[in-house]
Amino acid sequence: MKLNNLAGRIGAWAAANPKDAIFGWIAFVAIAVALGAHFGTKAMPQRASTIGESARADKVLSRVGLRTPAEEAVLVQITRLNTPTETLYKAVRDATNRLQGIDDVRKLRSPIDKKNPDLMAWDLRSALITFRVRGNPDKAAKRMGPVLAAIAKVQQRHPLVYVAEFGKASSDHALEKSIGNDFKRAEISTVPMTIAILLIAFGAAMAAGLPVALAFSGVLATLGLAGIASHLFPMAGDAKSVILLVGMAVGIDYSLFYIRREREERAQGRSLREALLRTSATSGHTVLISGLTVLIAMSGMFFSGSQIFTSFAVGTMIMVGVAILGSITVLPAMLSLLGDRVNKGRIPFLHRADAGVREPSAWGWVLDRVLRRPGLSASLAAAFLVALSLPALQLHTQFPGFSDLPPSLGFQKTHDRIQTAFGTADYVGEQTPAVVAVHARYIKAQRVHDAIAAMQRLALATGQMTPPTDVRLDSKKTTASVSIMLKGNGNDSQSKRALATLRNKVIPATVGKVPGVTADVTGSTAATVDFNHTMTRHMPMVFGFALVLVFLLLLITFRSIVVPIKAVVLNLLSVSAAYGVLVLVFQHTWAEGIIGFRSNGAIVSWLPMFLFVILFGISMDYHVFILTRIKELVDRGMDTDVAVAEGIKKSASVVTSAAAVMVGVFAIFAMLNVLEMKQMGIGLGAAILIDATIIRAVLLPATMKLLGEWNWYFPSWLEWIPRIRTEGTMPPAETPVPGSV
């Protein structure tokens, strides 16, 4: 057999030199982990997540040390009717004394001080202690340990009152710890769940454990390499979870493609060496093409205009590259070394000689009926997906706030208590103010000073902004930070209208008229608006880049203009349906008690674009895998209608197993505490489930049946394109094809 592709040659070398390939992989993983530990991971600073005008303002304020300090508050509240007020005062004095002894606490305001009547509730049953955290607000969370420990001691000493911390720094501190625990829980849960699914698929412990071990080692190597890369592209907070999710998904997918084909070749009576050579030239090549489509989709995130997406792109692309490398090198080496021992640990009632090769009867039953009435099947499936996609027209995005924190952290409870007792939580960080960064040659010049004062007066006169306003100057007197409270909760339409008024009317009419003065607005509302605007502007570029390059790759690979058009349309259908599911679940309240979240009526801002590139890339795995099997049969002379049925049936077991693993992994993320992870898990899981069932079992075969030989239409004016074999060159006579004519 002639091996005429790269994957075939690499697989042949690995199968002939298994120990070299295996020890090379172990060394690669060990070195990557060691280097990652040595250099550490550079986290993305909070200001790097902003885009546009808010990013410019953050940069100006950061350069002169005028970033808005982290604001914190301690709620002390009587919770029992017969508790005397003096108990509240004792707890307040205790908390105040402890906080004053902590070096990082600045500008503490006590409700006992007569200068701060706004910090004591009208019924004298709730009190707030407010303070600022010293230093860079991006690093404030790391300095909250002593503060939280002190407040915990106050709660222990005064059990008759409720004592709790509230603010961005303390919530970030708790959230980082929660994310770390979630990540560990996901790691622990993912492996046994995946092994259980693969045990059912292969019926043997060794065969089931091999893909998991390879995928997990790939994740470890990627985390090390991503840590090194973070010094060039700082790592976003959710990047590690994304790497684990993508790594386990694509790593196991590729292993399943490979092992399934090797078993099929062995089941046809071929020797171990011959089976591995043919598998390397067929499924190995499929892994390369599938991996390339995923890499193309992921690379689209570089055009997003956001450092968050750049971080995701770097991490996921490294992960996919590592998964491809492992699948075409160490996997054939392990299969060569193990031989028939890959079936060790056979599970009673699960193991069969054709485990992982047999065609699931359910798929055959569905496929037979779809191909019997392809027009009706395609119409019903398309109508269902379009209906499921319609809610996506109402998709609304925003950055998460305090109310979106995991309920288990307790901040929602404290937030609700403050809202009930005081009617607002604006001044303790629930809604950070709009901050205008005013830069001039000399900020105290009379004309600049008067313009800033006029801006404050006009902002309040609009009725859309409220006091207090605050002005801070840098030491060189070139920059002023002007804080102005916006009405609303920071994410609603009222706050966004107020921001638009500030930017488009108030500033141009005041400081905007002074020559040589610049004024940019930042803050949580501004950051969300700017991020959403940037995503809207860049999304066509990201989508277009991925769609065009994947179209060209499939055009060249399959030498058909119909196949790539259909692949793009089907994958867009599954993505839009996933968007619809996200809106139905997270922008409404019916699922809150089921998966443990509180709806804010929105999807996290970065998720729609991220879901597109991830889903488009991963779902192409199935498409390429199935189409290569169909095309292989067609190239051997089989009629297209028969090849569609045979190819999909032959691919059914691996697609079912791969989809089950992916949906299982994504379901684990849907059960984590952080809202973003829940939304990502539900979105990805729903899309993969839709893709592996409705798309691959109904729409794909139905449309291929309807198109017949037109599936392979290739215009004559494109004949200049180089010819690439999708499955290697293999003599047809060597493997009789069932049903061929």
505-523 pLDDT per residue, tens: 999 999 999 999 999 999 8
- Which carries the bigger pLDDT value, residue 624 or residue 32? 32
Within this chain, do residues 242 and 380 fall inside the same structural domain, yes or no? no
- Model confidence pLDDT, tens digit, residues 678-694: 898 899 888 888 988 89
**What is the pLDDT confidence band of residue 361, given thresholds at 50, 70 and 90?**
low
The full length of the chain comes to 741
Within this chain, do residues 375 and 318 fall inside the same structural domain, yes or no? no
Within this chain, do residues 284 and 375 fall inside the same structural domain, yes or no? no
- Closest CA relative to residue 503, chosen from 526, 535, 480: 526
- Determine, yes or no, domain membership for 593: yes
Within this chain, do residues 254 and 207 fall inside the same structural domain, yes or no? yes
CB atoms within 10 A of CB 183: 17
CB atoms within 10 A of CB 93: 14
The pLDDT, as a whole number, for residue 729 is 43
Question: Span 454-470, mean pLDDT?
Answer: 90
Under 8 Å between Cβ of 642 and 701 = no
CB atoms within 10 A of CB 406: 23
Question: Span 299-307, mean pLDDT?
Answer: 87
Residue 166 pairs with which residues in a beta bridge? 73
The pLDDT, as a whole number, for residue 432 is 64
* Statement: residue 180 has pLDDT above 80: no
- Determine, yes or no, domain membership for 190: no
* Statement: residue 607 has pLDDT above 70: yes
> Could you tell me the two tokens for 123?
């019924």
Within this chain, do residues 688 and 601 fall inside the same structural domain, yes or no? yes
CB atoms within 10 A of CB 119: 21
Chain-wide mean pLDDT for the chain?
Answer: 84
- Closest CA relative to residue 124, chosen from 85, 93, 74: 85
The pLDDT, as a whole number, for residue 447 is 94
- Which carries the bigger pLDDT value, residue 221 or residue 340? 221
Question: Span 604-612, mean pLDDT?
Answer: 86
- Determine, yes or no, domain membership for 196: no
- Determine, yes or no, domain membership for 403: no
- Determine, yes or no, domain membership for 133: no
Least confident range from 44-48, 122-126, 722-726, 736-740: namely 736-740
The pLDDT, as a whole number, for residue 222 is 94
**What is the pLDDT confidence band of residue 350, given thresholds at 50, 70 and 90?**
low
Query: 3-state DSSP call for residue 715?
Result: coil
Within this chain, do residues 611 and 640 fall inside the same structural domain, yes or no? yes
Q: Which long-range contacts (CB under 8 A, 24 or more apart) does 665-669 make?
A: 665/190, 665/193, 665/194, 665/245, 665/248, 665/249, 666/245, 666/249, 668/186, 668/189, 668/190, 668/193, 669/186, 669/241, 669/245
- Model confidence pLDDT, tens digit, residues 42-90: 888 766 677 889 989 988 988 888 877 788 889 999 988 888 889 999 9
Beta strands in 366-425 (DSSP E): 397-398
* Statement: residue 430 has pLDDT above 60: no
Mean pLDDT: which of 383-397, 537-551, 559-573 is highest? 383-397
Within this chain, do residues 365 and 235 fall inside the same structural domain, yes or no? no
Question: Span 188-201, mean pLDDT?
Answer: 80
Q: Give the pairing of strands 603-604 and 397-398.
A: parallel
Within this chain, do residues 366 and 346 fall inside the same structural domain, yes or no? no
Least confident range from 343-352, 454-463, 524-533: namely 343-352
Question: Span 697-716, mean pLDDT?
Answer: 87
- Closest CA relative to residue 69, chosen from 147, 130, 132: 132
* Statement: residue 424 has pLDDT above 80: no
* Statement: residue 98 has pLDDT above 80: yes
The pLDDT, as a whole number, for residue 736 is 37
Q: Give the pairing of strands 126-133 and 161-167.
A: unpaired
Query: 3-state DSSP call for residue 219?
Result: helix
> For position 313, which CATH number holds?
1.20.1640.10
* Statement: residue 353 has pLDDT above 60: no
Within this chain, do residues 287 and 380 fall inside the same structural domain, yes or no? no
The pLDDT, as a whole number, for residue 560 is 87
Query: 3-state DSSP call for residue 94?
Result: helix
Total count of domains within the chain: 2
The pLDDT, as a whole number, for residue 20 is 93
- Model confidence pLDDT, tens digit, residues 312-329: 899 999 999 999 999 999
Within this chain, do residues 539 and 655 fall inside the same structural domain, yes or no? yes
Residue finishing a domain among 320, 353, 386: 353
> Could you tell me the two tokens for 543?
């989508």
Within this chain, do residues 388 and 348 fall inside the same structural domain, yes or no? no
What's the order of all strands across the beta sheet hosting 518-522?
465-473, 479-486, 434-439, 518-522
**What is the pLDDT confidence band of residue 620, given thresholds at 50, 70 and 90?**
confident
Residue 143's alpha-carbon distances to 104, 134, 173, 576, in angstroms, are 7, 9, 8, 43
Residue type, 12: A
- Determine, yes or no, domain membership for 107: no
Residue 468: cis peptide before it, omega within 30 degrees of 0: yes
- Model confidence pLDDT, tens digit, residues 568-582: 888 889 889 999 999
Percentage of the chain modeled with pLDDT above 90: 29
> Could you tell me the two tokens for 288?
């390369």
- Determine, yes or no, domain membership for 70: no
d(CA 616, CA 570): 10
> Could you tell me the two tokens for 329?
């090198």
Residue type, 239: A
Mean pLDDT: which of 63-67, 143-147, 617-621 is highest? 143-147
- Model confidence pLDDT, tens digit, residues 480-503: 999 998 887 777 788 889 999 999
- Determine, yes or no, domain membership for 372: yes
Mean pLDDT: which of 419-423, 463-467, 500-504, 607-611 is highest? 500-504
Q: Give the pairing of strands 105-109 and 70-78.
A: unpaired
**Structural domain span for residue 669:** 359-398+532-556+569-712
- Closest CA relative to residue 631, chosen from 734, 554, 520: 554
**What is the pLDDT confidence band of residue 402, given thresholds at 50, 70 and 90?**
low
Within this chain, do residues 640 and 672 fall inside the same structural domain, yes or no? yes
* Statement: residue 733 has pLDDT above 50: no
Rg for the chain, CA atoms, rounded: 30
